Structure 1
Amino acid sequence: MSRPVDVLIDFLKSEEARGVTQVYLDEEARAALRELHRQKRKGPKLEPVAEESAEVSPAEASKEMEVSHPPRVVEAPVVVSPDGGSAAEKIAALKAQAAEWPAARALGSLRETMVFSVGNPDADLMLVGEAPGYQEEREQEPFVGPAGQKLNEILKAMGLSREAAYISNIVKFRPSMERQTTNNRKPTVEEMAACMPFVREEVRIVRPKCIVALGATAAEGLLGLTGAVARMREQWHTFEGIPVRVTYHPAYLLHGSAALQDKRKIWEDMLAVMEQLGLSISEKQQGFFLPK
């Protein structure tokens, strides 16, 4: 189950991304906030708070949340996974919650059909993309279009099957567009923040040995990084204590401009992942996409 502080911070970031500068704290929440702040600092007891309501900025509130039991914020959504049961049962419970997730539905910028995840909830390897596209929405499964076929080929080259990995996206619904048909768009920061509580909980349930962030948007959602993938790859990052490797999205290989050296870069990232997973690497695998 997500820690209350993580859920609250995700909610505050979502509100801040929407342009909200103030969040309402009722009398009970304000009193609890002051008491927890006092306990943290072990200072003298504060005077009782005034009767009138108060507002604080999401940034200020999130700074105060570095405590074990943060005060209640009105309408803050909470993701709950069962304490007992298998990893598959816990993922199923998350999926049921995500289908009608208020924080995502309230945005009005995501489509109706949810695409949650696929694969082995006990996997050593977790792969995370940005959001479902046209084909993924139709089949309600991540990475089933042309980019998904490329991902399957990458996994096969690693000696893994698609079913052996756990595959998910930052955003659980296809981002909508005006007069949308097969065209897709990148999810916004606001849309990613709304769905991040589920991603965080997925990671805690699966507990993979490592995560691969597929593309710049996935890296932004997971790690808060922005910019080019070229500057993020070839190093290990962490999310929830799990090593994360950033690489190019498989769709990058579908571009006519993708050269042998680009394929090699992705493969080098996968070789690093194989080492992290403790998989054996043959000479043939080591030499994939090297100039002849």
Structure 2
Amino acid sequence: MPTERQRAMLREMGIGPWWPDDDAARSGDPAASAAPVASPPAAPDAAPVASALDTLSWPALREAVAQCRACALCERRRQTVFGVGNERAQWMIVGEAPGEQEDLLGEPFVGPAGRLLDAMLAALDLTREPGPPERQVYIANTLKCRPPGNRNPQPDELARCEPFLVRQIQLVQPRILLAMGRFAVQSLLRTDEPIGRLRGRVHAYRGVPLVVTYHPAYLLRQPADKAKAWDDLCLAAETLARRGG
């Protein structure tokens, strides 16, 4: 549970309590979502190959993402959404795909979902903003461009964008990964299992402990599951503490 100071911080953000107040049973799972719609035809360049990115520095990787035309999403984006936070953070958060506000601002997790994520982080004394390194996180998405109409990512889009995320994880070298949302979870863990069956235990991604949780946008629609998300964050924090983080 958050401390009283952390509770007050969340209240001041105007979001209200999102931690569990009792042990009442809660239900719901974000696994069922609308079927993806087709992208307009395009002539994308070849997808980036992970091995070709292995030596890229942060500036070079950012430029590679900005210039990417590997799938049709490049045709409609306003800008790419690379990532934000401490580039050597102990915590790395991986989300799904940029939405309209992310596409406008070029930063992941903005708008109501971003404010909820910031509140969740603040409850653990973490932030995406500049500050002590031990309090900072790095945030990235599986996709760097917004799908039209905020539709679900398509498998080929996830596959073409994956090498960029792989290189980001290599550069950050996080001590804990927090995967938020079905597409982030299933991409990193290579599974079709729904979040409800994967959360509550520690997985691994290339040797890095990985904890599964719900996407903040889902929690805004299903606030009863915020209790489960709090449990997931606590599990991630406990896992990091056991590793000496």
TM-score w.r.t. structure 1 length?
A: 0.61
Match for 1:265 among 219, 228, 239?
228
Task: Decide whether the 8 Å contact of 2:158 with 2:187 is kept in 1.
Answer: yes
Does residue 175 of the first structure (1) align with residue 138 of the second (2)? no
Looking at structure 1, the residues matched to 64 and 208 of structure 2 have their Cα atoms a distance apart, in angstroms, of 24
Choose which of 277, 282, 287 in structure 1 pairs with 2:240: 277
Q: Which moved more, 1:196-205 or 1:217-226?
A: 217-226
Q: Residues of 2 paired with 1:226 and 1:253: CA distance? A: 21
* Larger radius of gyration between Structure 1 and Structure 2: 1
**In structure 1, what is the Cα distance between the partners aligned to 2:100 and 2:152?**
13
Distance 1:97 1:150, change over 3 A: same
What is the rounded CA distance, in whole Å, between the counterparts of 1:221 and 1:110 in structure 2?
A: 23
- Which one of the candidate residues 100, 104, 114 is aligned to 1:134? 100
> Helix, strand or coil for the counterpart of 1:221?
helix
Other structure's SS at 1:272 match: helix
Is this contact kept in 2: 1:125–1:166, CA < 8 A?
Answer: yes
Name the SS for the 2:204 alignment partner. Answer: strand
- Which secondary structure state, in structure 2, belongs to the residue aligned with residue 174 of structure 1? coil
What is the match of residue 59 of structure 2? Answer: 92
TM-score by length of 2: 0.72
Aligned residue pairs total 191
Shift of 1:161: 1.5
Q: Which amino acid aligns with 1:80?
A: L
Q: Which amino acid aligns with 1:176?
A: P
How far apart are residue 109 of structure 1 and its match? Answer: 6.9
Does the Cα contact within 8 Å between 2:47 and 2:160 map onto a contact in 1? no
Shift of 1:92: 2.2
Q: Aligned partners of 1:103 and 1:76: how far apart in 2?
A: 5
For 1:215, the equivalent position in structure 2 comes to 181
1:141-220 aligned within 5 A: 141-163=107-129, 164-177=136-149, 184-220=150-186
Structure 1 residues 153-176: Cα deviation after superposition (integer angstroms, max 9, x where no partner):
000000111231000000000012
Structure 1: 5+ residue runs without aligned partners?
A: 1-74, 84-89, 178-183, 280-292
Q: In 1, distance between residues paired with 2:47 and 2:118? A: 38
Distance 1:137 1:76, change over 3 A: closer
Q: What is the percentage of aligned positions where both structures have the same residue?
A: 43
Letter in 2 for 1:77: P
Distance 1:95 1:81, change over 3 A: farther
RMSD of equivalent CA atoms:
2.2
Does structure 2 retain, via aligned residues, the 8 Å contact 1:111–1:174? Answer: yes
